[in-house]
Amino acid sequence: MEHSFAPLQNDLIVRAAWGKKVERPPIWVMRQAGRYLPEYHEAKGNKDFFECCRTPEIASTLTLQPIERYAGLIDAAIIFSDILVIPQAMGMTVEMVDKKGPHFPNPLTSPDDGQYREVMDRHCDVSKELDYVYKAITMTRTKLNGRVPLIGFCGAPWTLFCYMTEGGGTKLFKESKTWIYKYPEETKALLQKIAELCVEYLALQVKAGAQLIQVFDSWAGELSPAAFKKFSEPYLAYISQHLPGRLKEYGLEPVPMIVFPKGAWYSLDSVSNLGYNVVGLDWLHDPAEAVKVIGDRPVVIQGNADPGVLYGSHAAITEAVKNMVDGFGWHERKSGWICNLGHGITPFVNPEDLKFFFQEVHRLTK
Ligand code: CP3
């Protein structure tokens, strides 16, 4: 089924992501639809988090909330969902525990654990299992009515692998490190399987109406540079190398691809060669240094203010924006930068302070 949607009134982020010169840097923030917004809590009520993801009407309403609140200031929507829907589609149970985060009651413990074989052998049909995401995307595109582009996303294989083995958030990474250093071959087989599902899942999101895609490697920075080369980068590369071909098979045009290897600052040079149009930076990067590392490669930077600055004074927010505008060389280059935070916006931020951040980006890039 092909969809027809209203033409885009604001395609700034699409043009910027393709490396074009633009009139001002596009802006959005990771996790922009979330707990810092009072209207999020109101719409979510006491419904289960994943139930909201699975209900296109609710997911699209939540996706639109920041677009409505910050109309004219923000340049993209990101579909309300979660990276953990892939492990769910693979047959694993994932619950969202209030105030604690995701929890897998039965994480993968070792290659001998029957569950690993089950997950590896099970045929996983993301077209069927994640149909609710595509429906939410199509409904959201209709409701957006061309206001701003819609971003689709998935978790990177390494990050999803961490959740599948740890069973939730962790500081130690005991299970995932045991896997990579004790069972590297079984680890790689699973990472490859996840990467293939990511390609199909992203292609189907584009088919449903996603206009850019982002791969979140939130735990990239837990790996050493050598381990990143083995256990993350090849699978990020698999996705960027195979998605365009898969889109072509569906008769779809390519879309800009964004990769966000959080914490893996050492990887910027090599990640810039993987074929992604945009590399997301966290706040550990100095903007001017990052621009130097990328050099004349056609790679756009997304980022990278410390989300924590939104707990600070307006003067601190202004300074953080200036730091990006100057460091990314905005006034000289007029290209190569999509403004964002260096990670998701955190709970308890005052939405008015995020508004001030957006306004400052507009003011200081005139
Ligand atoms: O606005 C958006 O960015 C779109 C929605 C979105 C969510 N999760 C909604 C969400 C996106 C893009 C994600 C991605 C995601 N999910 C990542 C990658 C980005 C990152 O932060 O590194 C990760 C690691 C997850 C897994 C996850 N989901 C965790 C660790 C948690 C709990 C802790 C936390 O930071 O919120 C979630 C829950 C979640 N995902 C919430 C939202 C709005 C909060 C749910 C709630 O309590 O109401």
Task: Answer yes or no: is pLDDT of 181 > 80.
Answer: yes
Q: Which of 30, 31, 74, 81 to mutate for ligand 1's pocket (most ligand atoms within 8 Å of CB)?
A: 31
- ipTM over cut 0.95: no
Percent of the chain at pLDDT exceeding 70? 99
Distance 131 CA to ligand 1 centre (A): 20
How many C-beta atoms lie closer than 10 Å to residue 350's C-beta?
A: 11
Task: Answer yes or no: is pLDDT of 2 > 90.
Answer: no
Given CA atoms 222, 113, 197, 230 in this order, what sign does their dihedral have? positive
Ligand 1 site residues (CB inside 6 A) read: 30-35, 49, 78, 80-84, 96, 101-102, 153, 169, 216, 218, 344
Tokens of 279: 């590399």
Quick one: CA torsion of 242, 243, 244, 247, rounded to 10 degrees? Answer: 120
The burial of 9, by beta-carbon neighbours within 10 Å (0-12 exposed, 13-18 middle, 19 or more buried), is given as exposed
pLDDT at residue 217, rounded to an integer: 98
Kindly report the protein residue whose alpha carbon is nearest to atom 29 of ligand 1.
101
**Would you say 341 and 29 are in contact if contact means Cβ atoms under 8 Å apart?**
yes
Q: In 99-126, which positions are buried (b, 16+ CB within 10 angstroms) versus exposed (e)?
A: eeebebeebbeebeeeebeebeeeebeb
**CB neighbour list of residue 153: distance below 8 Å, 6 or more residues apart:** 78, 79, 81, 83, 205, 213, 214, 215, 216
| Host H or E run for residue 218 | none
pLDDT tens sequence across 127-180:
999 999 999 999 999 999 999 999 999 999 999 999 999 999 999 999 999 999
In sequence order, the β-bridge partners of residue 305 are 341
Kindly report the protein residue whose alpha carbon is nearest to atom 7 of ligand 1.
82
- Euclidean distance between CA atoms 111 and 61, whole angstroms: 41
CATH number of 12-364: 3.20.20.210
- Euclidean distance between CA atoms 218 and 344, whole angstroms: 10
How confident is residue 99, by pLDDT bands cut at 50, 70 and 90? confident
